[in-house]
Chain A
Amino acid sequence: MNRFHWSRVHHKGWALASLFFITIILIPNLLIGVEFFTEGNDNWLHIREYLLKDYVQNSAVIIIFTALATMLIGTSLAWLITIYQFPMRNFLKWALILPLAIPPYIAAYTFHGILNYTGVIQTTLRNSFEMQVNQAYFDIMSIQGAIFIFTVTLFPYVYAITRSFFQNLSASVLENARLLGGNDVDTFFRVALPISRAAIVGSVTLVILEVLNDYGVTSYFGIQTVSTAIFRTWYGMMDLDSALKLAGTLMVLVMVVLMFERIVRGRKKFFDPSSKVRPIQPKKLTGAKAWGVFAYCFGIFTIAFIIPLLQLLRWAFMTYEKVFNAEFITLAKNSVLVASIASLIIIFVALIISNYTRLQSGLLTKFISRVTTLGYSIPGAAIAIAVITIFISLDQYIVTFLAQFNLKPEFVLRTTLIMLIFAYVIRFLAIGFNNIEAGFEKIGNRYSETSRMLGASTLRTFFMVDLPLLRGAIASGFILVFVDILKELPLTLFLQPFNFSTLATQAFKYANDERVQEASIASLMIIFISALCIFIFHRVLDKEAN
C-alpha cells in the first residue's frame, strides 16, 4: 500500500521526462506510419506487382539466418569464456568484442577484396600454383555472403550482452545444476540458456534491427532487400511516398521481430534472490579440451577480425603515402567528438526512461519501453529527412523570434552538429536502453526499495544506489553506442555540416568510388579507436567485477 503510494507521487518527474523523449522519437515513426495507410500511386502498384515479394523474402532470409548464426556463435562464446579457463582466455574475453569495430560495409568490401579475382587468395593460386579456380566458389556477393558478413560483424552484440549476463550469474546456479547431475553441456542448454533468454533475445533483436537497416552491404552485393528498395524508390523513382510505404513495410517487419522478442523473452524477471552474488569461477581446462575451446574461440576471432585487419593493413601500405595526412587527425577528432557527445546523451536518456519503466509498471510504461527501440527500426536516411525538416522550421522560428527584438537574425541550428547529434540519439537510443534495461533487470528492485524505505528520494536513490550498481551496464552500453556511431554512415553522410567529415564518411567516399584500397586507412582508424575504447572499458568492467 505504502509502496504504491510513493510510486505515484514521486515518479512524476521521471514520467514526464520519459514521455518527453518518447514523443521526440515517435514523430518520424508517425510520419511513416500515417503514410503507410494512404492510397498508393502507380509506382507503388508497380513495386507491389514486380518487386515486393522478392524484397520481403530476401530480407526475411537474411535476418533469419543471421539471427540464428549470431545467436549460436555469440552465446556459445559467451558461455565458454564464462565457465572455462583456457589458453589466451583473458585476451579473447575482450578481443571477441573487437569485430564490432569493423563496419559491415567495410567488412563486405574487405572480404570481397580478399576473395575476388585480384584478391590475395586467387592471385596466389594463379601466380604461384598456376591454378585457375571456379569463380562461383569465391563469390561472396550473394545472400549467403551477406549473411556471413553480418554474422562476423554483428555477433559481438550477442556475445557482449550475454556474457555480461552470464558473468553476473551466481555461481550457486551453476553448482546446483552440477549437483543435480548435469554436465556442462546440459547446464548450458537447460540452465544457462533459459535464464539468460531475455539477454540473448534482446541482443539478437539488436542484430536483426541492424541488418534490416543495412544499406551498404546489400547494395554493394546487389541484393534486393526492403531497405535497398527504399533508396531505389526514393532516389531512383523520386517517389518519397512509395519509399515511405516501403519504410512502413520495414517497420511491419520490425514489429514482427519485436513482438516475437516479447513472446520469447516472456514476462519473468530473472535475478538472483540471494543478497550476495558469488560470481562464477571459471573451471580450468587441460589438454585437448582446452585447445579445442581455444581453437574455436580463436578461429572465430581470426575470421572476424584478424583476416580483415591484415587485408586492410596491406591496402594501407599500398596507399598511405597518398591518403595519410594531417586531415586524418581532424577526421579522427571529429568522429570521436560527435560520437562521445551523442553516446553520453543517449546513456542519460536511457537511464531516465529505463528507471521509470522499471519503477512503474503498466501499459504506458510498456508502450514507452517499446517505442524507445523504434528509432532503431527506421532507415537512417528516413530519420535524416525527418530531422532536417524539423530543424529547418526550427531555424525559421528562431530567425522570426530574433527579428522581433531587432537582433541580427541568424540561422543557428541548420547544418550544425546539434542536428547530427540529435539524429544519432533518435537512431541509437535503443542500444543504450536495451543495455541499461538489462542492467536494471539484473539488479532488481530490492536495493532501491530498501533505500526508499529508509527515506531517500527517488532521485537520491538513483544517484546513490542505482547508478553505482549499474556501472557495468552503463559502461557496456556506452561502448556499444559509441562504436556504432563511429561506424554510422547514412545519417552522417546526410546531415554532416559543411567542411565536416568523419572517418566513416571518408572511408565510404573512397569505397563507394570503388577505391577500397584508399578507404583502408580511414577504416583502420575506425577500428583502432573502437578497439581502444573496447579495451579501456573492458579494463573498467573487469575492475568492477573484482
Chain B
Amino acid sequence: MKKFTVILSMMLALMLALTGCVSSTNNNGNSSSQNNGGAENNEEATNEQESGEVNVYTSRHYEADQMLYKKFEEETGIKVNVVEGKGEELMERLNREGEATEADVYITADAGNLYQAKDAELLQSVESDVLAENIPEKLRDVDNQWFGLTKRARVIVYDKERVSPEELSTYEALAEPEWKDRVVIRSSENMYNMSLLASFIDIMGRDEAKAWAQGIADNMARDPEGGDRDQAKAVAAGEADVAIMNTYYIGVMLNGTDEEEKKVAENVGVFFPNQETTGTHINISGAGVTKHAKNKENAVKFIEFLSSEEAQGQFAEANSEYPVNEKVEPSELLKSWGEFKEQDINLSKLGENQQEAIRIFNEVGWK
C-alpha cells in the first residue's frame, strides 16, 4: 500500500509539471499575433546569446561524420550539436519550426532533398571563397544555398558469370525486351530512384522517361523489395542478372565484417552506364546553412571544414564515397572500378523533377 502511495505522489508531481505547460498550450495554440511578437524577441534573444556552438540537423549517420565533427570541435573550439533523422523528416521539422528553429546547418544525402529545402525557403545563400574553391560549380546550388560534400554513382551491377560487360551499355538498354525478368532495383519510394528518374526527365523528357520506367517495371525479375544490398544479393543468388544500385553499398559490403556479403560483392561487377552518351547518374550528400541560423558564422566554418582536403579524404577512405573536392583522390577501392563520365546536369533538376518522377512511378506501377 505504502509503495503505491509513493508511486502515486510521484506521478502527481510529474503530472503537475506537465499540466502546467499543457494549460498554457490551450491559451496560446491559435494566437498568431503573439507568435509574431515572440519571433522578434527571439532574434534579440539570440543576438545576446553569442555561442561557441553549431547546431546540425543531419540525415547522415556515419561514424566517419561523427569523427569529423569531433575534429572540427578540436580545431575550432566550436561545439557541434546534432539531431539525426531522415532527411525529409528533418526538412519538415525545419519548416514547422520556422524562424524559431535552433538548427544552423542542414545535411542530407540526396540532391532532391537539398533542392526542396531551398525551394521551401529553408536555406540561405552563403558567400565563401573556400567553398567556391573546394566544390565544383556543378555540385553547388546556383545561389550558393547548398553545397555537395560527397558523391555516389548509381550504376549497373551484374553477375560476372552470366553477364559480360559487353552486353551492357546504358540505363535505357535495360528497358529493352531482352532484359525481361532479369533486372532488380529497389522500390520507387527510395529517393535514389526518384532522383535517377528525375535526371532522365531532364535529359530525355517526360514521355521517354516514362517509357523507360515502364520498360524497367516490365523487366523486373521480382517486385521491388529491400535495400540496395538486397539487389546485389538477388544478382548473386541468380534471381536476376543485373541490378541498378549505388556504388557506395558495394564498398560497404566489401569493407564489412560479413564474409558472405563480401563474397556477394566480389561476385558482381560494377558497370558505369551511358559512358558513350549522357554519363552515369550521380547523387550527392550536401549541406546548407538554414535560413534562420543563429550561428551563421560557425555554420559556414563548419561546412568549409567538411569540404577541406582533410575531411574529404576521411569521407572517401572511411565511407566509400567519392570526394567532391577535386584535390582529393578517391579510395583505392573506388579507383579500382575506374574513372567514369558523370551525367552533366545541374543537380537542382533532381529536385525540380522529383514530383513528376513519383507520378510516373505510380502510373507505370513501379511499386
Task: State whether B81 touches A498 (Cβ < 8 A).
Answer: yes
**Residues of chain A with a CB closer than 8 A to B70's CB:** none
Interface centre among A24, A132, A142, A513 (most CB of B within 10 A): A513
Please report the C-alpha to C-alpha distance between residue A345 and residue B15 in the assembled complex, in whole angstroms: 6
Task: State whether A385 touches B96 (Cβ < 8 A).
Answer: yes
Which of the residues A231, A414, A514 comes within 8 Å of B100, measured between beta carbons?
A414
Within 8 A of B (CB), among A114-156: 116-118, 122-123, 132, 135, 139, 141-142
B328 interface contact, C-beta 8 A: no
Task: State whether A392 touches B61 (Cβ < 8 A).
Answer: no
Q: A135-B237, A228-B189, A498-B55 are in contact. Are A415 and B102 (CB under 8 A)?
A: yes
A227 vs chain B, min Cβ distance (A)? 12
Please report the C-alpha to C-alpha distance between residue A347 and residue B15 in the assembled complex, in whole angstroms: 11
Please report the C-alpha to C-alpha distance between residue A493 and residue B83 in the assembled complex, in whole angstroms: 9
Task: State whether A236 touches B100 (Cβ < 8 A).
Answer: no
Task: State whether B45 touches A505 (Cβ < 8 A).
Answer: no
Task: State whether A409 touches B44 (Cβ < 8 A).
Answer: yes
Task: State whether A237 touches B24 (Cβ < 8 A).
Answer: no
B49 vs chain A, min Cβ distance (A)? 9
A319 interface contact, C-beta 8 A: yes
Task: State whether A392 touches B27 (Cβ < 8 A).
Answer: no
Please report the C-alpha to C-alpha distance between residue A20 and residue B55 in the assembled complex, in whole angstroms: 36
B241 interface contact, C-beta 8 A: no
A394 interface contact, C-beta 8 A: yes
Please report the C-alpha to C-alpha distance between residue A142 and residue B226 in the assembled complex, in whole angstroms: 10
Q: A222-B367, A319-B257, A385-B96 are in contact. Are A397 and B4 (CB under 8 A)?
A: no
**Residues of chain A with a CB closer than 8 A to B48's CB:** 408
B336 interface contact, C-beta 8 A: no
Task: State whether A237 touches B15 (Cβ < 8 A).
Answer: no
Q: Who on chain B is nearest to A352 by CB?
A: B15
Task: State whether B18 touches A235 (Cβ < 8 A).
Answer: no
Q: A400-B38, A467-B8 are in contact. Are A236 and B189 (CB under 8 A)?
A: yes
Q: A235-B92, A344-B10 are in contact. Are A396 and B37 (CB under 8 A)?
A: yes
A51 interface contact, C-beta 8 A: yes
Task: State whether A517 touches B257 (Cβ < 8 A).
Answer: yes
A422 interface contact, C-beta 8 A: yes
Please report the C-alpha to C-alpha distance between residue A494 and residue B261 in the assembled complex, in whole angstroms: 32
Task: State whether B355 touches A411 (Cβ < 8 A).
Answer: no
A34 interface contact, C-beta 8 A: no
**Residues of chain A with a CB closer than 8 A to B15's CB:** 345, 348-349
A496 interface contact, C-beta 8 A: yes
A contact residues, range: 35 or more
**Residues of chain A with a CB closer than 8 A to B249's CB:** 514
Which of the residues A220, A422, A512 comes within 8 Å of B18, measured between beta carbons?
A422
B89 interface contact, C-beta 8 A: yes
**Residues of chain B with a CB closer than 8 A to A388's CB:** 93, 96-97
A167 vs chain B, min Cβ distance (A)? 20
**Residues of chain B with a CB closer than 8 A to A345's CB:** 11, 14-15, 18
Task: State whether B229 touches A514 (Cβ < 8 A).
Answer: yes
Please report the C-alpha to C-alpha distance between residue A282 and residue B83 in the assembled complex, in whole angstroms: 52
Which of the residues B21, B96, B239, B260 comes within 8 Å of A413, measured between beta carbons?
B21
Please report the C-alpha to C-alpha distance between residue A409 and residue B26 in the assembled complex, in whole angstroms: 21
Question: Which of B137-145, B159-167, B358-366 interfaces with chain A?
Answer: B358-366
Q: A463-B8, A509-B61 are in contact. Are A397 and B38 (CB under 8 A)?
A: yes
Give the tally of cross-chain contacts (CB within 8 A): 218
Please report the C-alpha to C-alpha distance between residue A348 and residue B18 in the assembled complex, in whole angstroms: 12
Task: State whether B264 touches A514 (Cβ < 8 A).
Answer: no
Count, chain B residues at interface, CB 8 A: 91
Q: A46-B362, A117-B234, A494-B89 are in contact. Are A400 and B8 (CB under 8 A)?
A: no
**Residues of chain B with a CB closer than 8 A to A135's CB:** 234, 237-239
Please report the C-alpha to C-alpha distance between residue A224 and residue B84 in the assembled complex, in whole angstroms: 26
Q: A396-B37, A399-B42 are in contact. Are A390 and B96 (CB under 8 A)?
A: no
Which of the residues A116, A349, A399, A418 comes within 8 Å of B21, measured between beta carbons?
A418
Q: A388-B93, A394-B21, A509-B84 are in contact. Are A118 and B258 (CB under 8 A)?
A: yes
A514 vs chain B, min Cβ distance (A)? 4
Question: Which of B28-36, B125-133, B170-178, B200-208 interfaces with chain A?
Answer: B28-36
Contact with A along B59-72 (1 / 0, CB 8 A): 00111000000000
Which of the residues B4, B82, B194, B239 comes within 8 Å of A499, measured between beta carbons?
B82
A299 interface contact, C-beta 8 A: no
**Residues of chain B with a CB closer than 8 A to A497's CB:** 83
B149 interface contact, C-beta 8 A: no
B211 interface contact, C-beta 8 A: no
Task: State whether B186 touches A222 (Cβ < 8 A).
Answer: yes
**Residues of chain A with a CB closer than 8 A to B233's CB:** 116-118
Task: State whether B42 touches A396 (Cβ < 8 A).
Answer: yes
Task: State whether A468 touches B4 (Cβ < 8 A).
Answer: yes
Task: State whether B89 touches A50 (Cβ < 8 A).
Answer: no
Please report the C-alpha to C-alpha distance between residue A463 and residue B263 in the assembled complex, in whole angstroms: 64
Please report the C-alpha to C-alpha distance between residue A399 and residue B39 in the assembled complex, in whole angstroms: 9
Please report the C-alpha to C-alpha distance between residue A381 and residue B89 in the assembled complex, in whole angstroms: 9
Please report the C-alpha to C-alpha distance between residue A493 and residue B367 in the assembled complex, in whole angstroms: 26
Which of the residues A234, A403, A410, A510 comes within 8 Å of B92, measured between beta carbons?
A234
Task: State whether B21 touches A494 (Cβ < 8 A).
Answer: no
Which of the residues A27, A117, A349 comes within 8 Å of B236, measured between beta carbons?
A117
Q: Who on chain B is nearest to A490 by CB?
A: B89
Which of the residues B4, B86, B238 comes within 8 Å of A467, measured between beta carbons?
B4
Can you report 25 residue pairs joining A to B where beta carbons are below 8 Å apart?
A117-B234, A132-B237, A139-B222, A141-B226, A221-B225, A237-B358, A345-B15, A348-B11, A349-B15, A392-B96, A392-B97, A394-B24, A399-B41, A400-B34, A411-B42, A414-B97, A418-B21, A421-B18, A422-B21, A493-B84, A494-B85, A494-B89, A501-B84, A512-B86, A514-B227
Which 7 residue pairs across A and B have the least CB separation, nearest first? A396-B38, A235-B88, A118-B260, A348-B11, A141-B225, A397-B28, A498-B81
A residues contacting B by CB (< 8 A) are 20, 23-24, 27, 46-47, 50-51, 112, 116-118, 122-123, 132, 135, 139, 141-142, 219-222, 224, 228, 231-232, 234-238, 240, 318-319, 322, 341, 344-345, 347-349, 381, 385, 388-400, 403, 408-411, 413-415, 418, 421-422, 425, 463, 467-468, 471, 493-494, 496-499, 501, 505, 509-510, 512-515, 517
